[in-house]
Structure 1
Amino acid sequence: MSVPAELIALREQIDALDQQLFVLLAERFQVTAQVGELKKQFQLPAQDLARESAQLQKIQRLASETGLDPDWALRFQRLILDEVVIQHQQC
């Protein structure tokens, strides 16, 4: 059974979007690495709970506005934030 051309096209679109997501995540982690270096330089804690709380509220609002499940968006953002904190602690 052959795969419909429409399905192939949609899968190619998904692959392109996945690539863009990972390029953006890599760029984000490059920027947060710079933040980590500044925190180290100024002897600031690796984690800023007030900033994280504000970010999570913003993500929840953005998810709602764009039709994403806000709970899923919060879990996804929490995963990113946790990784950033780990990286900052290793600086």
Structure 2
Amino acid sequence: SSAGENPLEGIVPSIPTGRALTVGTDEFAAYEAAGVAAAGRSAFVLVAGGLGERLGYSGIKLRLPTELLTGTSYLELFIRHILALQATQPEGSPPIPLV
């Protein structure tokens, strides 16, 4: 901070409690179904900006390739994931927003 103090002084991070799921189990399928059902009431927010200069990239960070074979950008990959989730929604559902 501008006062030279750490506002997080004394805070000790901890690992949150959670559940480890195994793909292919009934428990995994139940959580996946709940997530797909909730997706239609969701929106995706992409917080990004600026250039990738610190990364040695001259363009905007959203155009950085996520892998080398196809050169798919981070933004395209993000949108593909949203469209795949949209495809799981019932016919006639409104699009899942990206804001």
Q: Which has the higher contact order (CA 8 A, sep 6+)?
A: 1
Shorter-chain TM-score range: 0.3 to 0.5
TM-score if structure 1 supplies the norm length?
Answer: 0.36
User: Highest CA radius of gyration, 1 or 2?
Assistant: 2
| Structure with higher helix content | 1
